[in-house]
Chain A
Amino acid sequence: QKEVEQNSGPLSVPEGAIASLNCTYSDRGSQSFFWYRQYSGKSPELIMFIYSNGDKEDGRFTAQLNKASQYVSLLIRDSQPSDSATYLCAVNFGSSNTGKLIFGQGTTLQVKP
């Protein structure tokens, strides 16, 4: 079983729609969860992090965490063509801030004008 799993996509949504990206993880002890955005040929860029169960909103982005289900998601409201990128889910496999950050394979999002 992979440690962090994502649907590779591509996920295609029309401009202005809500994009929903999902991720599951294997380690029940994980406490820190991150979403990175990576444009083609660029490095991953941190866009959201969440540590507690529930929702966390930042502008058009909402991260959702359900530790019981070992599930984390990212919602992007009012999707724009500039949101087209690969979105990487990352999980800190450890109980402190020195744990190792493991990434999923990423979901490619295409926002069509």
Chain B
Amino acid sequence: DAGVIQSPRHEVTEMGQEVTLRCKPISGHNSLFWYRQTMMRGLELLIYFNNNVPIDDSGMPEDRFSAKMPNASFSTLKIQPSEPRDSAVYFCASSGNREVHFGDGTRLSIL
């Protein structure tokens, strides 16, 4: 079975540019999560969706971050404008019961 699929795997861009991260959850899973991982702050929950509806976005750091889930098989996390402090690994994860499974992550570097 295909796991959670994220793209791109790596992204390097200059500050001020728009960044879009993409995620395809595991088929049949009804919850989707976006996490950010840094050495300093660990694994932080940014936002999660249930049945395509955002349930809790309290972890989104600021208005520069936005996330959408237009259908059950696709979600995006957008940063506009990007800043160097946004550099991190961004993970998408999905769940069909209580078990959450992670994608391989997007390593984002903002120069």
Name the interface size band of chain A: 20 to 34
Residues A34 and B56 in contact, CB atoms below 8 Å apart: no
Q: Is the CB of A97 within 8 A of B42?
A: no
Task: Please indicate the chain B residues that have their CB under 8 angstroms from the CB of A103 in the complex.
Answer: 35, 42-43, 45
For B101, list chain A residues within 8 Å (CB): 46
In the assembled complex, how far is the CB of residue B102 from the closest CB belonging to chain A, in whole angstroms? Answer: 4
Is the pair B45, A101 in contact by a Cβ cutoff of 8 Å? yes
Please state if B98 and A49 are interface contacts (CB–CB under 8 Å): yes
CB neighbours of B95 from chain A (8 A): 97, 101
Q: Does B98 lie within 8 Å of A100, measured CB to CB?
A: no
Q: Would you give the 0/1 interface string for B16-55, flagging 1 where the beta carbon is closer than 8 Å to chain A? A: 0000000000000001010100000011010010100001
Task: Given A43-B104, A44-B102, answer yes or no on A102-B97 (Cβ-Cβ < 8 Å).
Answer: no
Known: A43-B103, A46-B100, A46-B101. A100 touches B91 (CB 8 A): no
Cβ-based interface call for B99 (8 A)? yes
B35 and chain A: residue at smallest CB distance: A103
Is A92 an interface position by the 8 A CB rule? yes
Q: How many A-B residue pairs have CB under 8 A?
A: 48
Classify the secondary structure of B's interface with A. Answer: strand
Name which residue of chain A comes closest to B4, CB basis: A43
Q: Does A69 lie at the interface of the complex (its beta carbon under 8 Å from any beta carbon of B)?
A: no
Q: Chain A residues with Cβ under 8 A from B43's Cβ?
A: 44, 88, 103, 106
Report whether B45 and A100 are in contact in the complex, using a CB–CB cutoff of 8 Å.
yes
* Chain B residues with CB under 8 A of A102: 45
Docked complex Cα distance between A90 and B102 (Å): 13
Top-6 shortest CB links A-B: A103-B43, A43-B102, A105-B42, A97-B98, A98-B50, A32-B98
Interface residues, chain B, CB within 8 Å of chain A?
Answer: 31, 33, 35, 42-43, 45, 48, 50, 55-56, 91, 93, 95, 97-105
- Sample (6) of A-B pairs whose CB atoms are under 8 Å apart: A43-B102, A51-B98, A98-B50, A100-B56, A103-B43, A104-B42
